[in-house]
Amino acid sequence: MVQHRLHTVVILAMSADGKIADVTREPARFGSRADQEHLERQIATADAVLFGAGTLRTYGTTLTISNPALLQHRIQMGKPPQPVHIVITHLADLNPEIRFFQQQIARWLLTTTAGSLFWQGRQEFEQILVFETPTGEIDIPVTLQHLTNLGMARLAILGGGELVASMLELDLIDEIWLTVCPLILGGSSAPTPVEGRGFLAQVAPRLQLVEVHTIEQEVFLNYRLQHLAD
């Protein structure tokens, strides 16, 4: 799988104690301007952006590329100004009135057969992708292969923690960018970069530190996943 699919990179900002939002799960706006610019640069390298319905409900929008230099570079590379933005959700119970549906982007929906019913024949999503496992779950490996077959080479994953966890369990994450922000949020129910069932230490995904740098009070960490076949 690793050698024959698009490259996947998780991009998240977290507090110093590893939280991506506070206990109220309000939009996490504690990242600096430098972190926002970093996120935009990463999105600008992607052919598609993937995020869960919970992340979309929290923010109501997705981050688009606005930097003229980044837009120009994409055009020079023969890419559309914005990557495709893909929402992954089992039930697809999204509010069609949120601002996300007015943004000037290509919107795709990745869901189940049941989740697709409401959106079929509507204009909100350019494409509705339905890839299911025999148990009725979204088939992420098949989805990634489909995106690869479409000619996509890089997928940016913006959360949430359940999506990241499920992809880590399947050994489908290649790279992680984490911005560590200078605050403590605490709270046992505050979301973290990786949710799900968790991993035993003996079989936990292993990381290789590729890059680390600081901008003012924030630390930017880039890790490469050590795949099971490596």
Q: What was the pLDDT predicted at 2?
A: 43
What does 168-215 look like in DSSP terms, one character per residue?
HHTT---EEEEEEES-----TTS--S--TT---GGG--EEEEEEEEEE
Asked if CATH classification 3.40.430.10 holds for the domain at 2-226, the reply, yes or no, is yes
Query: What pLDDT score does 29 carry?
Result: 84
Provide the pLDDT for residue 26. Answer: 84
Q: Structural domain boundaries of the chain? A: 2-226
* Cα 70 from chain centre: 19
Q: How far apart are CA 148 and CA 12, in angstroms?
A: 23
User: What 3-state class would DSSP assign to 107?
Assistant: strand
Beta strands in the chain (DSSP E): 7-15, 48-52, 84-88, 107-111, 127-130, 154-157, 175-181, 206-215, 218-226
Q: Which residues of the chain have pLDDT under 70?
A: 1-3, 229-230
Amino acid 229: pLDDT? 65
Taking only the tens place, the pLDDT of each residue in 82-116 is: 999 999 999 999 999 999 999 999 999 999 999 99
| Structure tokens given for 43 | 């999105």
From residue 130, how far is each of 66, 90, 93, 173 by CA, in Å? 31, 10, 15, 21
For 30, the token pair is 């504690």
pLDDT at 1: 40
What span, in angstroms and rounded, lies between the C-alpha atoms of 137 and 169?
A: 14
Q: What pLDDT does 47 receive? A: 98
The helix/strand/coil state of 142 is helix
Report d(CA 152, CA 64) in Å as an integer. 18
pLDDT the model gives residue 28: 79
Characterize 71-102 residue by residue with b for buried, 16 or more Cβ atoms within 10 angstroms of its Cβ, and e for exposed: beebeeeeeeebbbbbbbbbebebeeeeebbe
The H-assigned helical ranges of 64-184 are: 68-76, 113-116, 140-149, 161-169
- Give CA–CA dist 28/19, Å, rounded: 9
